Amino acid sequence: MNNQTTYTENALVRSLKERNNEAFTYLYENYKNALYTVVIQVIPESESAVDVLQEAFITIWKNIEKYDHSKGRLFTWMVKVVRNIAINHRRSKYFQQGQKNDSLDLYVSYIENSASDNGIPINLIGLRKQVHALKKEHMQVLELGYFNGLTQEEISKVLDIPLGTVKTRIRNAIIELRKNFS
């Protein structure tokens, strides 16, 4: 591939739909870092995260026909694809068995210096900072549910608290976030 080749979003999508390998290489090289950041938030183990990222790019390549520019930008669609694959991987029996002995710190941790494709740390958008400013009990449920993709039932098991408590904490955390953003 010529390192000087660039694409507009429409030209890139068109080339991908034509199964142009050069366009796919461009897509991978220009979006891998940003999409890896999405994966690593759900799958904190780098080896598994790399596998999930590769699976996601294959899925994007195979399903590019499903992308509809009238519903949003290509990057937004790719983030949804990648995040869904990461969440599905995290919920798989294989992954769950490997996580049985992990500490809660692994689930609540986050990557401070993760950078998006343009080099701006992803946490500069402010949401994670706001979440981590909440009470510990609110921060934990949002971190596990939103950033790590766990269901309310899974959060209940990880934190060893009743499902009703998880639901209440999520509701209260969202109320607090709304106040902070108002």
Across the range 121-129, mean pLDDT stands at: 58
Task: Kindly give the residue spans of alpha helices, DSSP state H, lying in 43-162.
Answer: 46-62, 74-91, 93-98, 104-108, 127-132, 136-142, 152-159
Give the contacts of 25 (CB within 8 A, at least 6 positions apart).
1
What is the fold, at CATH topology level, of the domain defined by 1-122? Rna Polymerase Sigma Factor; Chain: A (1.10.1740)
How many angstroms separate the Cα of 69 from the Cα of each of 20, 27, 29, 59, 167? 19, 16, 21, 18, 35
Q: Is the per-residue pLDDT at 112 higher than 50?
A: no
Tell me the pTM: 0.54
pLDDT in the model for residue 44:
85
Higher-confidence position of 98 and 109: 98
Terminal alpha carbon distance of the chain: 48
pLDDT beyond 70 at 15 = yes
pLDDT, tens only, 141-159: 888 887 777 788 888 888 8
pLDDT at residue 94 tops 60: no
What pLDDT is attached to residue 1?
Answer: 46
Per CATH, domain 126-182 is 4.10.910.10: no
3-class secondary structure, 63: coil
Residue ranges per domain, the chain? Answer: 1-122, 126-182
Check pLDDT > 80 for residue 161.
yes
Average confidence score pLDDT of the chain: 80
Check residue 143 and give its pLDDT.
82
Helix orientation angle between 9-17 and 74-91, rounded to the nearest 10 degrees: 60
Residue listed under structure tokens 């694809």: 81
Q: Which pLDDT score, from 0 to 100, does residue 103 have?
A: 45
The CA distance from 154 to 104, in Å, is 13
Q: Which residue has the higher pLDDT, 122 or 18?
A: 18
Quickly state the pLDDT bin for 20 (edges 50, 70, 90).
very high
How far apart are the C-alpha atoms of 107 and 146, rounded to whole Å? 11
Min mean pLDDT across 23-32, 101-110, 141-150 is at 101-110
